[in-house]
A and B are shown apart, each in its own frame.
Chain A
């Protein structure tokens, strides 16, 4: 092992290797900063270069590229609340509120410092873990993976917000949406209304963008301000690094979680950041700031998501089974270079494995380090008036959503989920719980079904299952303690008589929770149209959730103003009586207009028109500036699309044009 390690070290430190690694890192950062592109588009750019390069340099470049995807994602997550990939969704929860408080620089530097630390610490763990990884991965069968989804689900407890029933129902909505599409056991299509787009299920990136990014954009536009509330940005740069040092044990634990959970094929990648976020909340004494801008909510997911990429290498190298989209790309690249994954990677080719692991760590240091250095300046973006920023952000979000499956359906789903997100935000249905449900739905169903098929119900007696079961129970225990504490605090606040204003007109809330109940009722109806194996999972989820959502509905119907289920942001945030705040639906209509435009004349033309009208009417800037900004944005977009061979959504107009051209 030691000589393999030394050979690897020698390889890594050669100037050519370092040069190619840096090349990959900077290419990755440039591309990755644009949400929705990430490593996959980077690979298409890189592949032609791989030919004629010697394998080691090609590999270095590939690693550089893959390593920084979860790093560069952080910019848009923290600064704009746009999660570019599944790895940065939990970062949005506290990162974006920090930006709103004017602490973007602090949040960014904490995020990058944690990424750097997580990447390095992850590599140390991997160096040893890789030797025993094979039996560990083989020990995680369907039964254990199913239990792991339950552990992930238990995090809903701490993310549920004020009302547990609402939290669980929100999670149920996610589960329901996640089980849309082909059933794992039979391939039957569920809840798809014969729609080709829905058959594949809705992509996670689209859901993440819709549920988090769009509601925030709309909220900020309504208030008509810049992202940062504070007129002056504290530098905060050093503070962020100090925060990480202060929370070094949290970062260490989360890096370890990221590394190990990320190594489990079939599940790891998408839940890691939620598990570490939940872990941060559970192990903290004072939790009221989570979700409102607690720096630990940034440190936890960020230190785990870079370690996760390292973990994801393990099944890719040892079994040839990629754990995530970027690892699939990495695997494809490896095969093209002429490297074959397999058991040899921990015996005769151990030095190659170590070269990969430590190149990844080094790439993390370079990438996160570079981001750390520039974060102070980039943070200034949060002081720009939002009406100027908004068209760019809408452009980016639509573009990113469309890259998910390159179908106009992506945009429809984006707006649909965006509206759901707006309503959930308004009525206090926790969106993270929804997302966790969505992320876990398909894994949960598949692994439960497979576990029962493989071992029967006795799968519950496997030692691994019992261990994870105990962890889950502990997690629920901490969650319960957390919510009891929160309730006590609430009571204390109430006694001191500064309780927040409770809405008295419950009609809008009633309408929304009736809608939620109807969704579950439909899900239940739909699952009865399927065969037993195809419908049993959604049937169980929907009937349980139907009961919970009816509890919410009945409480509201009984006009229980003081109950925790009663929440309406329009009242609590004081929007209702504030004439400077635009109506809730106003900007939803703007976005719908853009969507209709995409269908009619395609994305490029309609985003151009959107820019012009929006900048003239909303930002009220001169025609010259409007046209300049619009031209810049479109030129950038078209160049990008051309060189990266990306399709942009085309509409009715282009369809007609291409027919007449024939």
Chain B
């Protein structure tokens, strides 16, 4: 072993790191003098998922940009702590993170949804963390053309017909889809054990499932071509949250009604009641604030402000929009108050609503808590 190890000297690594550090700080807009100086420090950005997935890519996209725009240009490193559908990394962050601005954490729908459901594995309180930035997304529901409907207006024709839907687990962001289908009186036969939304889409292409939804960027790149070929019919979007906290049509899909509109088409009245409330909360946690960047509880205000200003500079940078489209989709990033407000509505659920959704999952999908 020692023979082999000698080929792998620390010097080479060191050389690499020097280049790495140099490459991360080329040019930037200058930070204010009163911002906390992170010069010579190393920021650890914890991602509670495996390398290579959506959240990892998100963090690795932003990491170098924050490195450039934080005062003092600290090195930002991404550290993956996967497990327990992101609850493991979150628990560890809650327990160990130091409130010094050098420990940040990125959440996703899978961190927020178990928190809302009161999953027994959750030992963290996202609400007490300090949000720096949130990335919203939308989603589109589409069906196979074989079902014979052309738009959401004809959805009533499908009532009483079993529609197959592929999902990873009920207690995940797929819950948003399942609840929406339920509100629209669709008879869904959910098949679980998919490796993710991508696998469900593959099943759709194989003709194994009838109905599916994808987040906006996946929809635009992977489903739109199917729509153009006539192999998929888009029905509705989940909508977007406007500044007043109301769900409106998704500007990316102006021709598609959102779930609330479709509800009105079917039931003849605006959606109200517990189920819609629950749906809205989970929609915000799963989509309107799908990914978030956090500093731990107890971080001093000046540190939080430094991070928030850096986030502002990251977003204001020239050509950020073009560069970010592929990774983040088309929606504007939420920072400052927008992020705080959206996250607050994403993470607040009343006891009755919580009881209701737990019961719903238990009755319909055998989910135990």
Contact = CB atoms under 8 A, between A and B. Distances in A.
B189 to A, nearest CB: 7
A473 B169 CA distance: 34
| Best-buried of B17, B52, B88, B169 by chain A (most CB within 10 Å) | B52
A48 B1 CA distance: 30
A6 to B, nearest CB: 27
Nearest to B68: A51
Contacts of B78: 44, 47, 645
B221 interface: yes
Interface in B90-127: 96, 98, 121
B208 A49 contact: no
Contact of B366 (A325, A332, A405, A534): A534
Contacts of A160: none
A620 B326 CA distance: 60
A142 B204 CA distance: 12
B82 A643 contact: no
Contact of B84 (A199, A338, A392): A199
B202 A265 contact: yes
A335 B327 contact: yes
Interface stretch (A185-193, A218-226, A520-528): A185-193
Interface in B165-219: 169-171, 189, 191-193, 195, 198-199, 201-203, 205-206, 208-209, 218
A632 B1 CA distance: 12
Contacts of B332: none
A556 interface: no
Contacts of A185: 192-193
Interface residues of A, number: 79
A636 interface: yes
Contacts of B2: 392, 629, 632
B30 interface: no
Interface stretch (B20-28, B274-282, B283-291, B308-316): B20-28
Interface in B1-29: 1-5, 7-8, 10, 12-14, 16-17, 19-20, 23-24, 26
B188 to A, nearest CB: 12
Contacts of B367: 186-187
B353 interface: no
Contact of A187 (B1, B192, B205): B192
Contact of B10 (A45, A265, A335, A639): A639
Given A80-B1, A392-B2, A48 B61 contact: no
B239 interface: no
Interface in B233-272: none
A187 B170 contact: yes
A98 B157 CA distance: 68
A49 B88 contact: no
B83 A320 contact: no
B202 A319 contact: yes
B60 A47 contact: yes
Contacts of A614: none
Nearest to B205: A138
A56 interface: no
A446 B51 contact: no
Contacts of B53: 328, 332
B206 A141 contact: yes
Contacts of B368: 188
B189 A406 contact: no
A449 B193 contact: yes
B225 interface: yes
Nearest to A391: B1
Nearest to B56: A332
A396 interface: yes
B91 to A, nearest CB: 9
Given A187-B169, A381-B4, A534-B366, A446 B193 contact: yes
A321 interface: yes
Contact of A393 (B1, B64, B205): B1
Interface string B50-66: 11110011001100100
Contacts of A368: none
B50 A328 contact: yes
A48 B121 contact: no
Contacts of A49: 19-20, 23
B365 interface: yes
Nearest to A331: B52
21 contacts: A30-B7, A31-B8, A45-B20, A49-B20, A51-B23, A52-B23, A52-B26, A139-B206, A142-B208, A184-B193, A199-B84, A265-B199, A266-B195, A319-B201, A319-B202, A322-B52, A392-B5, A396-B1, A405-B82, A405-B88, A640-B13
Going nearest first, the 8 A-B pairs with the smallest beta carbon separation are A184-B193, A328-B52, A392-B1, A639-B10, A332-B52, A329-B52, A446-B193, A453-B191
Interface of B: 1-5, 7-8, 10, 12-14, 16-17, 19-20, 23-24, 26, 44, 50-53, 56-57, 60-61, 64, 77-79, 81-84, 88, 96, 98, 121, 164, 169-171, 189, 191-193, 195, 198-199, 201-203, 205-206, 208-209, 218, 221-222, 225, 323, 326-327, 365-368
Given A138-B206, A184-B193, A332-B60, 16 more contacts: A31-B8, A44-B77, A45-B16, A142-B203, A188-B366, A319-B222, A320-B221, A325-B50, A325-B51, A336-B57, A336-B60, A378-B4, A393-B1, A405-B82, A639-B14, A640-B13
Interface of A: 30-31, 33-34, 40, 43-45, 47-49, 51-52, 75, 80, 137-139, 141-142, 182, 184-188, 196, 199-200, 265-266, 319-322, 325, 327-332, 335-336, 338, 340, 342-343, 377-378, 380-381, 389, 392-393, 396, 405-407, 446, 449-450, 453-454, 531, 533-534, 629, 632, 635-636, 639-640, 643-645, 647, 658, 662
